[in-house]
Structure 1
Amino acid sequence: MPMQAAQWSKALLADALAPVYLLVGEELLVLEAADAIRRRATTLGYAEREVLEAGPQFDWDNLARAAAGMSLFASRRLLDLRLPGGRAGKDGGAAIQAFCADPPPDVSLLITATEWSSKHESAWSKSVDQLGVQVVFQAPRPNEWGRWITARLASHGLSASSEAAALLAERVEGNLLAAAQEVDKLAILHQGGRIDRAEMERLVADSARYDAFKLTDAAFAGDAARALKVLAGLHAEGEELIGLMGWLVNQLQLVLRLASAEDFASQARAERLWPAREQLFRQALRRAPRQHWLGCLARAGRIDRMAKGRESGEPWREAERLIAAMALPRGSLSAP
């Protein structure tokens, strides 16, 4: 039977990794759980990790070859198998079952899938469940959001009253990624101590610093309506566009560094991104290639010059167009 997500943190404290893990469900939670396994593997001496991206053209013989391969350092190894659509197919199912029937010593197989339902369950997933650990990660139910946010705050060294947690839950409206991002921002904005409702209201109020976060996060998440609403609010309140463009340029430079990196995860660690923001940028780069974000950066530079009076134009109108293009990259940018 699949392990409950609540038991997951305790399972990570074991003295050795299980032969195989299957982590499926909500993308953010799956990616965070997989990161936790990788960190635990490093602690336990798994000095080598091989990533296997099981796309449509994947050769499933690679799994058997990787499992049977010799370690360069005579150490434990972690095989990181990623199933984008959650389905292994006939060949994949057979390959995973073969691994489970005779798991090699000092090798652990981590399988992750962010698309999963009861329809994905099959003979191979049952083999994984019998041999190792299977966890299905789901978003909190409506009555669980307050507890989830409280636990998430605690993982950042923060605490909050139940009223404060409920207020934040109300604001994120059931959006898991948005909730994780809000908690990440609270870790930046809050200077320690317990957060009560009044403090939470202050921290999530429409301050310029906080709205700058919300603006870029909504744009990178593809939520054009929300991003444009935030931008309009900043304009109506008399916010200086120059400072806002500085933040936009900073974030566009960040997404370009991530897009140009040979290893996204390594670059994300170098940028000290929390998991929620790492996932935000992963989604943005899936929606549009590097060239699009390069065009956005060029447009941002032009708007900055307009705001400083160095170029003619309507900077706020151009800022609206930029934000729309960031959120909806199919409406490609014209040359600046």
Structure 2
Amino acid sequence: MRLYPEQLPQHLQGGLSPCYFVYGDEPLLKMEALDLLRRTARAQGFDERHRFDADEGLDWDALFDASQALSLFSRRQIIELALPDKLDKTASDRLRELLRQCHPDLLLLISGPRLNQQQQKSAWFKALAETGPTVAVLSPNPRQLVRLLEQRLRDAGLRAEPDALHWLAHAFEGNLLAAAGEIEKLALLALPQPLTLATLQQQVQPHHHFNPFQLLDPLLQGKVRRACRILLQLRQEGIEAGMLCHLLARELATLDSLQAHLQAGQPFHQAAAALHVWSSRQPLLQAALGRLPAAKLAALGTLLAAADAALADFDDDAAWRWLYALCIGFLDDQPPTILP
């Protein structure tokens, strides 16, 4: 069973499963999901807790001993296991062995990072999904973030006008942890309700945060204004231009290859499968190719090459200017601008 964090409270009304796997890239929602599972378990007599990290130094035998031991003070216990970004064969085998030893007085709380499709097809992930619910905790997109912040304001006894709510989502995109802290502070100020845009701008310091991968989808969707905002924020956060050049080069190469396959008469889905494009990204890339003909892709490649050349000359400012021009070049019906 696959659950999302907002579905967890209702699920728990039917009782605890023997194992939960909470994974994803949103730290606050992940922490809250695990805390809810711990509280529910404690209310049902799981008073003892052991925590392990499944890194290379993990003593798996010690973990197994803890999972089978009965304490003098507690008959039921929680074993928490944090998984790394990648599991080697030994860790995968031992994890599956651990899952086979579940019993009613043991609750396994396993956490991990965001997983790609290949990892979700692995034997260890399938074993986890068969043993208990998997809880996917992903960073909310802008629309989901607005709804999420509105609910959190309501839970804190606050309301916000629509423009104020959207400004709050804009100010904390990618940083829900900071947003939750600001909402707690707002609740203590006894401000007039509903909160206005002017009030929030006076009381709240924006703390948005992006990772480099979040630049790609807005560009492919033609949402250039959003992409430019992300690009400027990434620079402020100290992301290296070279990293962005690498990611953009890989994305443009994929688009070029898909375009070549299509021009040769190959169906899109067949071409995408040959290039190992994840099925979840195929609609996005297919739509992008409808907006980006071969000539435009070639011009975008020229801009990227100029950014790479600027980096080779240790001209970081010029590289960022080329990257900004590259983003603008993704506009529909907008020929890419070649800077002097």
TM-score scaled to structure 2, two decimals? 0.55
Partner residue, 2:17? 18
1:134 deviates by 0.3
Task: Tell me which residue corresponds to 1:96.
Answer: 95
- Say if 1:203 and 1:54 are closer, same or farther in 2 by CA, change over 3 A: same
The corresponding residue for 1:248 is: none
Checking the alignment, whether the CA contact within 8 Å between 1:67 and 1:104 is kept in structure 2 is no
Does the 8 A contact of 1:60 with 1:91 survive in 2? Answer: no
Structure 2 alignment gaps of length 5 or more: 210-233, 238-340
> Does structure 1 retain, via aligned residues, the 8 Å contact 2:2–2:133?
yes
8 Å CA contact 1:63, 1:95 repeated in 2: no
**Alignment partner for residue 198 of structure 2, among 197, 201, 220?**
201
Tell me, in whole angstroms, the C-alpha distance in 2 between the residues paired with 1:84 and 1:187: 37
- CA pair 28-45 structure 1, distance change in 2 beyond 3 A: same
Q: Say if 1:111 and 1:153 are closer, same or farther in 2 by CA, change over 3 A.
A: same
Task: Please report how far the alpha carbon of residue 147 of structure 1 lies from its aligned counterpart in structure 2 after TM superposition.
Answer: 0.4
**Contact 1:64–1:95 at 8 Å: present in 2 too?**
no
Show structure 1 runs of 4+ deviating over 6 A: none
144-153 or 113-122, which deviates more = 113-122
**2:145 & 2:183 partners in 1: Cα distance?**
13
Q: Which runs of 5+ in 1 are unaligned?
A: 227-336
**Quick check: 46-55 or 109-118, which moved more?**
109-118
Paired residue secondary structure (2:2): coil
The match for 1:5 is 5
- 1:291-310 equivalence runs, <5 A: none
How high is the TM-score relative to the length of structure 1?
Answer: 0.56
**1:66 Cα deviation from its structure 2 partner:** 1.6
Report the equivalent of 1:283. Answer: none
Deviation at 1:84, TM superposition (A): 3.6
| 2:168 pairs with 1:177 | no
Is the CA contact (8 Å cut-off) linking 2:47 and 2:74 kept in structure 1? Answer: no
Partner in structure 2 of residue 81 of structure 1: 81
Q: SS of the residue aligned with 1:204?
A: helix
Distance in 1 (CA, whole Å) between partners of 2:42 and 2:150 is 29
Residues 19 and 117 from structure 1, CA distance in 2 versus in 1: closer, same or farther, beyond 3 angstroms? same
Please name the residue that 1:154 is paired with: 154
After TM superposition, list the pairs within 5 Å mapping 1:159-170 onto structure 2: 159-170=159-170
Query: CA 1:135 to 1:72, structure 2 compared with 1: closer, same or farther past 3 Å?
Result: same
Paired AA for residue 17 in structure 2: A
**CA shift digits 1:134-181 (9 cap, x unpaired):** 011111112222101112223333333433321211222443333333
Identity of aligned residues (%): 32
Contact persistence 2:142–2:169 (CA under 8 A): no
Higher-Rg structure is: 2
SS in 2 for 1:105: coil
* Residue of structure 2 in register with 1:43 after alignment: 43
- 1:42-70 Cα offsets, whole Å, 9 max, x none, are 11211100111222211222332121111
Q: CA RMSD in A?
A: 2.9
Provide the C-alpha distance between the structure 2 equivalents of 1:224 and 1:195, rounded to a whole number of angstroms: 35
Which residue of structure 2 aligns with residue 34 of structure 1? 34
Structure 1 residue 182: Cα displacement: 2.7
Q: Cα deviation per residue 1:5-54 (whole Å; 9 max; x = unaligned)? A: 33122123333x21111000022221221111111111121110011122
Q: In terms of mean alpha carbon deviation, does 118-127 or 102-111 score higher?
A: 118-127
What is the CA distance between 1:192 and its match in structure 2? 6.7
